[in-house]
Chain A
Amino acid sequence: MSMIQIENVSKWYGDFQVLTDCSTHVTEGEVVVVCGPSGSGKSTLIRCVNGLEAIQQGRIVVNGTALADPTTNLSKLRAHVGMVFQNFELFPHMSVTDNLTIAQIKVLGRSTAEALARGLAMLDRVGLKAQASKFPGALSGGQQQRVAIARALAMDPICMLFDEPTSALDPEMVNEVLDVMVELATEGMTMMCVTHEMGFARKVADRVIFMDHGRIVEDASKDDFFGTPRAERAQLFLSKILQH
């Protein structure tokens, strides 16, 4: 079953076209990696998936719900689409515990005890149970990102969106976050990940999408993508990335 359907999506910021006729889909349990040069529209595309950005053309359907449908309750839909950001975006004035529980309580209507139990279980899962009472400012980048993942997981997401979750991290912290993501992927979580971590892609991706200038120029199975990327830009990009 298709979890995320993106059909002929185009988007403009004023006169500037960020996305041009993008189409792809993510089926249930699939892990799709999105890569491409900076400014190619990856973040914009992924933000369109949960309606954080509006699109001017095309159609996006998540779990059978069309985003543009006037009867769609976007907040309700987003509650079950986890999102992880490049800059973590934990709420700095709340303890880790409050970060984990606020949306469960205010959005899902869970009791404080219920939310706390679920939040702490997810925190344990990312290996940070001991940090529950700390504030985000007291954590390392890698720890903050893992808390952010736990926060999204506590909402029982049907799929997860990642926007360059490791690009803001010091190199020694990249793996602790990737490990959590790999574990999620192997457990069958549906994931759409913007990332340049090709090791991660090789390990768990089912498909790889390559974007350039707002277009999806390559959308291939992992083996095809790493074996014989057809688009010239993708080849060039890969050769640059893999040199590192």
Chain B
Amino acid sequence: MSYNWNWDIFLSPTPSGESTYLGWLLDGLQWTLTLSLGAWIMALVLGIGLGVLRTVPNRLLAGSAAAYVEVFRNVPLLVQLFIWYFVLPELLPTTLGDALKQTDPLAQQFFAALLCLGCFTAARVCEQVRAGIASLPRGQRNAGLALGLTLPQTYRYVLLPMALRLILPPLTSEFLNVFKNSAVASTIGLIELSRQSQQLVDYTAQAYEAFIAVTVLYVLINVLVMFGMRLLERRTRVPGYIGSK
């Protein structure tokens, strides 16, 4: 079987003539990046908050955070996405739900995917943060409190800065997962990077070029994220701290 390699395909105009196939891919890349970075920021904020709640001396708060984690970590991501996209608008009060359905379909897809990925990843970040805080010596909390810091101040200035440093490596892999998981958004029609490459194959039948290009782009994202996180690790390293290698 002979395959006609044609790398020029990326520069050819698309059927509508408005863009090139490379333009399509970059368009998809842009959605993947926007969705993933947005979801990651949401996951960090929510995940750190939940992780803190899991360790506070209050059963109700700690229990609620634990329940959140159980739900969002154990329901498959695809199912969660369908719930956000198809089911949630039906559960909202009719007027609100109808208003939602009137909005731009692209916005609906994007925000459903953003909330889905953000909440899912937050559960995973939460567990890392909880483990990070738990791995600190118990005396650190007491030392903060004994100096007169309030519990929130103790978290802010004493516990979280150390805990977050300790969990940077696992957070890096969660960050990478967000980019991979963002491909799930294609199932509700968001034309992100992976969906865009599929489309490219459908239109041009140049499958190898399309998948090689998309693989390179995903790898590039990975390399950049790892590089950035390494840099962050180096810049936040604590001099002489034994626990951090």
Chain A residues with CB under 8 Å of chain B are 47, 50, 52, 75-76, 78-83, 85-87, 89-93, 102-103, 106-108, 134-138, 151-152, 155
Chain A residues contacting B153 (CB-CB under 8 Å) are 106-107
Contact of A85 among B143, B157, B161, B239 (CB under 8 A): B143
Known pairs A83-B143, A134-B239. 13 more at Cβ < 8 A?
A76-B148, A78-B147, A80-B148, A86-B139, A89-B143, A91-B143, A91-B144, A91-B157, A93-B241, A107-B148, A107-B153, A137-B238, A137-B241
Q: Is B195 interfacial (CB 8 A cutoff)?
A: no
* B135 lies within 8 A of chain A by Cβ: no
Inter-subunit contact B149/A50 (CB<8 Å): no
Interface residues of B (CB under 8 A from A): 137, 139-140, 142-150, 153, 157-158, 161-162, 165, 238-243
Given A89-B142, A93-B162, are A78 and B242 also a contact pair (CB < 8 Å)? no
List 9 interface pairs A-B (beta carbons < 8 Å), by A numbering.
Answer: A78-B146, A83-B143, A83-B146, A103-B148, A106-B153, A106-B157, A135-B241, A138-B240, A155-B148
The answer to whether B145 touches A52 (Cβ under 8 A) is yes
CB-CB < 8 A to A138: which residues of B?
239-240
A89, B240: Cβ atoms closer than 8 Å: no
- A137 & B145 in contact (Cβ 8 Å cutoff): no
Shortest distance from the beta carbon of A8 to any chain B beta carbon, whole Å? 24
* Contact partners of B241 in chain A: CB under 8 A: 92-93, 135, 137
- Least Cβ distance of A38 to chain B in Å? 17
Q: Which of B140, B150, B161 is within 8 Å of A89, CB to CB?
A: B140
Determine the distance from Cα of A50 to Cα of B149 in the docked complex, in whole angstroms: 13
Q: Cβ of A50 and Cβ of B157 under 8 Å apart? A: no
Bound Cα distance A85, B144 (Å)? 12
The answer for the CA separation of A76 and B150 in the assembled complex, in Å, is 9
Q: Which residues of B contact A137 (CB under 8 A)?
A: 238-242
Asked if residues A87 and B137 are in contact (CB atoms below 8 Å), the reply is yes
Write the nearest CB–CB distance from B205 to chain A, whole angstroms: 56
A75 to B148, CA, bound (A): 4
Q: How far apart sit A77 and B183, CA to CA, in the bound complex (Å)?
A: 54
**Docked-complex contact A79 and B238, CB < 8 angstroms:** no
Residue of B143, B147, B153, B158 with most chain A CB atoms under a 10 A cut-off: B147
Question: What CA separation (Å) do A81 and B147 show in the bound complex?
Answer: 8
B149 partner, pick from A75, A83, A89, A135, beta carbons under 8 A: A75
Q: How far, in whole Å, are A80 and B150 apart by their CA atoms in the complex?
A: 14
What CA separation (Å) do A86 and B139 show in the bound complex?
9
Q: Contact: B147 with A92, CB < 8 Å? A: no
Taking a contact as CB atoms closer than 8 A, the residue among A50, A102, A108, A134 that contacts B146 in the complex is: A50
User: Which residues of A are found within 8 Å of B157, using beta-carbon distances?
Assistant: 91, 102, 106
* Chain A residue nearest to B236 in the complex (CB): A93
B140's partner among A78, A82, A91, A152 (CB-CB below 8 A) is: A91
